[in-house]
Amino acid sequence: MFDAWAQLDHSKDPTPNEVEEVATQLFKQIDSDESGCITADEFREKLTELSLGEGMSTEDLSAIIQEIDEDNNNRIELHEFIDYVMQILDAK
């Protein structure tokens, strides 16, 4: 995914603003119909397209989506995506 990551300066931790900007760009890439939310299908398609879904089962992908989807409406909204990206970076 994450072409946008490459644009970040990895020698220092990105600021929350930078993370939000990158996450927003990514979100727009995945949200191919510009509906403002990512469906499970869009997410799966994008991961497959980027070869990130290789070796991942449908169950694996569903688990990731459920993890991101805080309100469990089966769609990933921008704020949920940003929260998730922030969590990933904090975990490092």
| Using rule CB under 5 A, residue 35 touches Ca ion | no
Residues 6+ apart with CB under 8 A from 2: 22, 26
From candidates 63, 73, 79, 87, binder to Ca ion by CB under 5 A: 73
CA distances in angstroms from 28 to 11, 43, 70, 75, listed in the order given? 26, 11, 19, 14
Nearer to Ca ion, 17 or 72 (CB): 72
What's the maximum distance between 2 C-alpha atoms anywhere in the chain? 37
C-beta of 71: minimal distance to Ca ion in Å? 5
Nearest to residue 70, comparing CAs of 79, 60, 58?
Answer: 79
| Using rule CB under 5 A, residue 31 touches Ca ion | no
| Using rule CB under 5 A, residue 71 touches Ca ion | yes
Nearer to Ca ion, 7 or 73 (CB): 73
Residues in contact with Ca ion by CB under 5 A are 69, 71, 73, 75, 77
